[in-house]
Amino acid sequence: MKKEIATGSGVAGIIFLAILGLNVFPFVLFALLIGGFFYFMMNQGKMKLANVGENIKNTNFMKFEDIGGQDSAINELKEALQFLLKPDNTKKMGIRPLKGVLLVGPPGTGKTLLARAAAGYTSSEYIAASGSEFIEMYAGVGAKRIRQLFSDARKKASNSKNKSAIIFIDELEVLGSKRGGNSSHMEYDQTLNQLLVEMDGINPDDETRILLVGATNRADMLDPALIRPGRFDRQVQVTLPDKSGRSKIFSIHTKNKPLAEDIDIDDIARATFGFSGAQLESLSNEAAILALREDAQKIEHRHFIEAIDKVIMGEKLDRRPSQKEVERVSVHESGHALISELVEEGSVSSLTIVPRGKALGFMRKSSQDDQYLYTRSELEKHIMVALAGAIAEDFKYGNRSTGAKNDFNQAWKVSREIVESGLSSLGVVSIEEVPKEKLYNECKEILVNLEKETEQLLKDNINTLYNISEHLLQEESLDRRAFVKLLNSNNKLAV
């Protein structure tokens, strides 16, 4: 009604000006431009609202059994889904059904897959959206999309067999970030406020049952009102998989691939510490691509080993360093590998002088087991391995190169971690209270002492160092078997 009155008043005003003999063309042109602008904004809003509806349609459900490495998260999520499966039992026990479940974890760990599996597990309608779809510069659009999302979920739930629906919002930190951080306009806050209202409106006694599942890798950014009990009642940690989890994920992603008999799943799982499920899927795919390049009938173990380097470092580079640079890189990487094997037997997985990404060479370690806690002696071994490349260059050429810059940064970072963890001569400290000069001197002393120890180890095994370097120059890459064979061909190592 207000629009019609405004439009009529504007037309009447223009006619009145025309009667007075004024040139109304500029006014008409201005009115058309303003009208066109608002018409475009309104239609854009409607189109985006329609797009949200298109994005939140049912997808192919999967089973929890198809998700590897997340047994703890699956069990916790299944418990939260019981009120959708057994509403009468939960009511009988006096349990308040959960309104929201927040999946928290690094990218690629399977949060979206868990949400889809939850919908399949409960035979619920599945409606998915991304947090970025609700943020607009136009006031009220985001809040309207939130209302539409919950409205669509209730409609679909009422038509479903189980009268239940799961709403999944990915990248929740975009939509639910702490209020007051966007002072330029209040659209962000209005959208979040509407989400809070809709969550409060989820009634366990309703005929249709709604569960909101959110996913984020930045839980620290979320507004406290969003993650309090009664809204997102439960936070499920979706962490990086451990060794057994990586083995299971690897088996899942290689079901449809022809594997050679020499595949060692345990070796691959051990070498991929810190990999997410998405990275393991990429690893399997890259290994298959490498086998296809060679017209191989089956994917061999070496294809997976090379694929690991590709996922970590990137594709091989076409540019070729000069022969002098290649020789220096060979000595450098041999130094890393030799010290790593001396201080921690079985830790070297492979080494190469083939340029990948920004690296001219690379020595890849693989521990026997996943490790999350370290003693001072173990951290000192990491520093020695990091320093070994530059020290090996010093023995061979009498100087060092800029190739050790990242190694030195890593060594300094570990020495600082020794101090922060209360493992240094300073004892238990608060790192913020330690004077910068004192912190510097303590880290410097740790590095100087370990540098001397590393120098002595390399000096005692100098022939082995040069032997590894020569073979690396010839072969360009050495796997674990070739590396061990080289060590065994030399005299007994001095440890």
User: Which residues are designated catalytic?
Assistant: 333
- Residues paired with residue 363 on neighbouring β-strands, in sequence order: 351
For residues 397-430, one letter each, b for 16 or more C-beta atoms within 10 angstroms of the residue's C-beta and e for the rest, the string is eeebeebbeebeeebbebbbbbbebebbeeeebe
Sheet bearing 209-216, strands edge to edge: 125-130, 164-170, 209-216, 100-104, 232-237
Asked if 332 and 403 touch (Cβ cutoff 8 Å), the reply is yes
Report yes or no: 126 and 177 within 8 Å, Cβ to Cβ: no
Distance of CA 70 to the CA centre of its chain: 15
> Do 206 and 83 touch, CB atoms closer than 8 A?
no
3-state secondary structure 117-174: HHHHHHCCEEEEEEHHHHCCCCCCHHHHHHHHHHHHHHHHHHHCCCCEEEEEEECHHH
Nearest to 415 by CA among 386, 452, 392: 386
Comparing CA positions, the residue from 150, 132, 138 lying closest to residue 209 is 150
Residue partners of 379: CB distance under 8 A and separation at least 6: 414, 417, 418, 423
Max Cα separation, the chain? 109
Least Cα distance to 387 among 325, 329, 459, 339 occurs for: 339
Q: What is the signed CA dihedral for 425, 426, 431, 436, rounded to 10 degrees?
A: -90
